[in-house]
């Protein structure tokens, strides 16, 4: 796990500039620094040593003839198999790293190499002979890749902040991204919060030559249900495939640990990975905000030592500017801060941890996936439900009315992901600025179009796999782990696991129980939960049945306390807030929440986090963290 940055070379002091850019991402790789500069390009790399920890693994790496130069962030779990094939083809390796297979794999297979890989990756190869830059990002977007073209200069790297040190970089706020963010709670489009800075989408590669950028997709997720296997057979297939993935994800020359919450995902990983240590954080003493009470007994049951930390409100709030600095773009997911603290806890003991990200998107784990066909009302004709919806929309919003409004919409109209903060109407009412931000449905439509013949659960999963997971879940996983110089590996996000999960019938992903069965009327990740129950100690049975919490954070409670109410109110009345928003409406949201008129905590948090981020990147120039 590492970080890289670079640019096409149109400046005289490229060595000085590259060093400054690398300094901004030192946290991604504190073990070593390397660079390559010629008349055409400057490449820089920071290394966190995981495989072949000797100096021979330092980057940039070069082909035997010196014509190809590589900088790479990630891990290739099947590199030994690819390496053997390349040795048979006549290539000679100088190191034992997984990185070197990318150089000779590219030389042998070109872009076709990407579909041979199993792992998480983001990398750049400079072809000196053809004056070509080849860049690629992994299947799910586990590792980041940003790029920007400023005049004649093309920049690329693991984090946007490295670009700030380049003299050709023009720092401007992308106000369209702000309006989109107010709905999604993250930046959902390819252009980032920095104007003219873009994210390379997951499962894509680019070729940059003669000033032209060509981007192509190399891999697609395709859901095609296989109705032949029985439920028991699916459970066994999940077990076998996931064991194989965990084994692959443990390849390292250093110790590997695991995060552990009260949920089935991390419990499943921790139980079968045979790591030595598990790590858990929580808030206060209430079970709904603190999963340590669940994690410690489970860790004992699997024979592992659990390290835990209770996060104090003061340190949570005081960390926000630093965390938004590391995030590059504002992310209003309160769990991101909790993730920072558990990464920090783990980094005191080791360099690599396993985590359960991706299980919900792949196996159908979010509670919202239970909504389609969950009631008798869903069986009514679509036209009738839409008619009732239009009548309901004329009444003031409350729980009963909202039910008829929601059920009268197609999934494409009502679901944009796991967060829906402000509607287009509400966000425009808050904003003073005018942008050309698209309607949320225009952003989600290209994904829905690819699965228009699928059931609603599959549509929701497909959308989350492409938007929510990359834009929120994996963004915070990468940035919060790297802020602590920690490698985070996600064995659920393996293309072999995805290939299997894409064939599981929907009824084995989300199943609805009869009323006579009692308890929750639905079970998400149904087949996966049964596999976890089969593979792990008895304590998993209780964990597997537990409702998903994620990283529960008590911001709803904190925002009613004087200290944090006043902290947010000060931000809502700041000059920056007055520039972007009708601040009286922001304060009204805060006051209504404090008075108990509505739970506005997530909306307040979305607004507040943007202001924190803006203060770091635009109001406090080049603040160091």
pLDDT tens sequence across 376-421: 788 888 888 888 888 887 887 777 777 887 788 889 999 999 999 9
CA distance 461 to 426: 26
How much helix, strand and coil, in percent to the nearest 5, is found in the chain? 45, 15, 35
Q: Coil, strand, or helix at residue 67? A: coil
The answer to whether 164 and 310 are in contact (CB under 8 A) is no
Task: Take residue 313 and report the two structure tokens written for it.
Answer: 């409100």
Task: Take residue 37 and report the two structure tokens written for it.
Answer: 């500069």
Give the pLDDT band of residue 1 (cuts 50, 70, 90).
low
Q: What is the pLDDT of residue 95?
A: 87
Closest CA to 452 of 610, 242, 223, 129: 223
Residue 604: half-sphere exposure toward Cβ, Cα within 13 Å = 28
Peptide bond into 60 cis (omega under 30): yes
| pLDDT of 625 over the 60 cut | no
Instruction: Work out the percent of the chain whose per-residue pLDDT is above 70.
Output: 93
Q: What is the pLDDT of residue 483?
A: 96
| pLDDT of 157 over the 50 cut | yes
- Cα distances (Å, whole numbers) of residue 500 to 175, 223, 224, 447: 41, 10, 10, 21
Among all chains, which residue has been given the structure tokens 């592992």? 304
Of the ranges 51-55, 432-436, 461-465, 499-503, which one carries the lowest mean pLDDT score?
51-55
CA distance 219 to 492: 17
Backbone angles phi, psi at 99, to 5 degrees: -65, -40
Return the higher-pLDDT residue of 142 and 374.
Answer: 142
Over 420-456, what HEC string results?
Answer: CCCCHHHHHHHECCCCCCCCHHHHHHHHHHHCCCCCH
> Could you say which DSSP state residue 404 is in?
H
Among all chains, which residue has been given the structure tokens 């966000």? 427
- Cα distances (Å, whole numbers) of residue 112 to 129, 204, 521: 20, 12, 46
CA distance 146 to 192: 9
The answer to whether 340 and 483 are in contact (CB under 8 A) is yes
Alpha helices in 335-408 (DSSP H): 335-347, 359-363, 382-392, 399-407
Angle value at C-alpha 489, between 483 and 493, nearest 5 degrees: 125
The answer to whether 501 and 362 are in contact (CB under 8 A) is yes
Q: What is the pLDDT of residue 547?
A: 53
Of the ranges 41-50, 74-83, 286-295, which one carries the lowest mean pLDDT score?
286-295
CA distance 199 to 465: 16
Q: What is the pLDDT of residue 338?
A: 94
Of the ranges 208-222, 289-303, 349-363, 460-474, which one carries the lowest mean pLDDT score?
289-303
Task: Take residue 288 and report the two structure tokens written for it.
Answer: 């709904």
| pLDDT of 89 over the 90 cut | yes
Sign of the dihedral through C-alpha 241, 244, 248, 254: positive
**Mean pLDDT of the region 418-430:** 95
Q: Are strands 256-259 and 352-354 parallel, antiparallel or unpaired?
A: parallel
Report the C-alpha dihedral over residues 474, 477, 482, 488, rounded to 10 degrees: -100
Give the pLDDT band of residue 285 (cuts 50, 70, 90).
low
**Mean pLDDT of the region 523-535:** 93
The arrangement of strands across the sheet holding 277-282 comes to 305-310, 277-282, 256-259, 352-354, 487-489
**Among residues 1, 2, 178, 467, which one is catalytic?**
2
Angle value at C-alpha 121, between 117 and 127, nearest 5 degrees: 85
Give the pLDDT band of residue 540 (cuts 50, 70, 90).
low
Q: Enter the pTM of the model.
A: 0.93
Closest CA to 586 of 603, 566, 602: 603
Closest CA to 80 of 56, 95, 98: 98
CA distance 11 to 240: 53
**Mean pLDDT of the region 300-319:** 94
Domains of the chain plus CATH, in order, are: 2-217 (3.60.20.10), 231-365+465-545 (3.40.50.620), 554-625 (no CATH)
Q: What is the pLDDT of residue 622?
A: 45
Of the ranges 40-49, 55-64, 248-257, 529-538, which one carries the lowest mean pLDDT score?
55-64
- Cα distances (Å, whole numbers) of residue 585 to 564, 569, 572: 18, 11, 9
| pLDDT of 87 over the 80 cut | yes
Distance from the Cα of residue 183 to its chain's centroid: 17
Q: Coil, strand, or helix at residue 10? A: coil
Q: What is the pLDDT of residue 373?
A: 74
| pLDDT of 249 over the 70 cut | yes
Q: What is the pLDDT of residue 224?
A: 96
- Cα distances (Å, whole numbers) of residue 127 to 40, 51, 110, 131, 169: 11, 25, 12, 6, 24
Give the pLDDT band of residue 541 (cuts 50, 70, 90).
low
Q: Are strands 119-127 and 68-76 parallel, antiparallel or unpaired?
A: antiparallel
> Could you say which DSSP state residue 548 is in?
P
| pLDDT of 516 over the 50 cut | no
| pLDDT of 615 over the 70 cut | yes
120 strand-pairing partners: 75
The answer to whether 581 and 587 are in contact (CB under 8 A) is no
Of the ranges 218-222, 277-281, 371-375, which one carries the lowest mean pLDDT score?
371-375
Q: What is the pLDDT of residue 15?
A: 95
Of the ranges 28-37, 103-112, 216-225, which one carries the lowest mean pLDDT score?
28-37
- Cα distances (Å, whole numbers) of residue 174 to 179, 192, 195, 509: 9, 7, 5, 39
Task: Take residue 34 and report the two structure tokens written for it.
Answer: 């390397």
| pLDDT of 294 over the 70 cut | yes
**Mean pLDDT of the region 607-611:** 98
Alpha helices in 8-117 (DSSP H): 14-23, 79-88, 100-109
Closest CA to 258 of 272, 281, 275: 275
**Mean pLDDT of the region 84-109:** 94
Residue 110 — left, alpha, or beta (φ > 0 → left; ψ -120 to 50 → alpha)?
left
259 burial (CB, 10 Å; 0-12 / 13-18 / 19+) is buried
| pLDDT of 362 over the 90 cut | yes
Q: What is the pLDDT of residue 623?
A: 52
| pLDDT of 253 over the 90 cut | no
Q: Radius of gyration (Cα) for the chain, nearest Å?
A: 24
Q: Coil, strand, or helix at residue 565? A: helix
- Residue 2 annotated among the catalytic residues of the structure: yes
Over 221-270, what HEC string results?
Answer: CCCCCCCCCCHHHHHHHHHHHHHHHHHHHCCCCCCEEEECCCCHHHHHHH
């Amino acid at each position: 796990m590492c970080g890289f940055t670079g640019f096409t070379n149109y400046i005289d002091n490229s060595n000085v500039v590259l060093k400054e850019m690398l300094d901004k991402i030192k946290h991604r790789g504190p073990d070593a620094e390397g660079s390559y500069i010629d008349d055409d390009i400057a490449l820089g790399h920071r290394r966190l040593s995981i495989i072949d920890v000797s100096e021979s693994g330092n980057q940039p790496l070069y082909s035997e003839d010196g014509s190809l130069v590589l900088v790479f962030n990630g891990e290739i779990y099947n590199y030994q198999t690819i390496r053997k094939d390349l040795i048979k083809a006549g290539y000679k390796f100088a190191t034992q790293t997984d990185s070197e297979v990318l150089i000779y794999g590219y030389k042998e297979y070109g872009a076709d190499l990407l579909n041979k890989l199993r792992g998480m990756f983001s990398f750049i190869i400079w072809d000196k002979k053809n004056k070509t830059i080849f860049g690629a990002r992994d299947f799910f977007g586990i590792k980041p890749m940003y790029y920007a073209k400023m005049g004649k200069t093309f920049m690329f790297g693991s984090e946007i902040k490295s670009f700030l040190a380049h003299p050709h970089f023009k720092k401007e706020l992308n106000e369209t991204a702000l309006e989109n963010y107010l709905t999604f709670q993250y930046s959902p489009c390819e252009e980032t919060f920095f104007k003219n800075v873009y994210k390379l989408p997951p499962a894509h590669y680019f070729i940059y030559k003669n000033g032209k950028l060509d981007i192509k997709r190399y891999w697609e997720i395709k859901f095609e249900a296989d109705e032949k296997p029985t439920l028991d057979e699916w459970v066994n297939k999940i077990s076998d495939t996931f064991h194989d993935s965990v084994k692959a994800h443990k390849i390292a020359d250093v110790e590997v640990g695991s995060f552990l919450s009260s949920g089935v995902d991390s419990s499943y990983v921790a139980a079968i990975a045979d790591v030595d240590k598990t790590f858990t954080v929580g808030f206060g003493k209430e079970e709904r905000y603190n999963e340590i009470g669940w994690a410690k007994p489970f860790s004992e049951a699997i024979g592992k030592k659990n390290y835990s930390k209770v996060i104090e409100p003061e340190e949570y709030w005081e960390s926000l500017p630093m965390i938004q600095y590391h995030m590059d773009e504002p992310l209003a997911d309160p769990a991101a801060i909790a993730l920072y603290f558990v990464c920090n806890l783990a980094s005191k003991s080791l360099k690599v941890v396993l985590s359960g990200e991706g299980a919900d998107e792949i196996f159908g784990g979010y509670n919202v996936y239970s909504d389609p066909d969950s009631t008798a009302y869903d069986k009514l004709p679509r036209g009738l439900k839409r008619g009732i919806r239009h009548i309901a929309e004329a009444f003031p919003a409350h729980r009963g009315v909202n039910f008829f409004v929601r059920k009268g919409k197609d999934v494409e109209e009502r679901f944009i992901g796991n967060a829906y903060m402000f509607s287009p109407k509400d966000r425009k009412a808050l904003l003073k600025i005018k942008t050309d931000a698209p309607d949320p449905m225009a952003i989600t439509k290209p994904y829905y179009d690819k699965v228009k013949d699928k059931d609603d659960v599959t549509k929701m999963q497909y959308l989350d796999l492409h938007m929510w997971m990359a834009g929120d879940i994996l963004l915070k996983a990468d940035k919060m782990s790297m802020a602590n110089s920690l490698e985070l590996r996600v064995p659920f996000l393996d293309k072999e696991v995805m290939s299997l999960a894409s064939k599981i019938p929907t009824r084995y992903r989300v199943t609805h129980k009869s009323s006579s069965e009692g308890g929750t009327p639905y079970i998400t990740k149904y087949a996966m939960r049964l596999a976890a129950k089969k593979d792990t100690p008895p304590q998993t049975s209780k964990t597997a049945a537990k409702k998903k919490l994620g990283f529960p954070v008590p911001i709803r409670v904190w925002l009613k306390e004087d200290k944090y109410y006043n902290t947010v109110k000060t931000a809502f009345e700041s000059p920056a807030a007055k520039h972007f928003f009708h601040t009286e409406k922001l304060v009204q949201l805060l006051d209504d929440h404090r008075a108990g008129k509505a739970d506005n905590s997530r909306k307040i948090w979305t607004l507040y986090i943007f202001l924190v981020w803006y203060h770091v990147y635009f109001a406090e120039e080049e603040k160091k963290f």
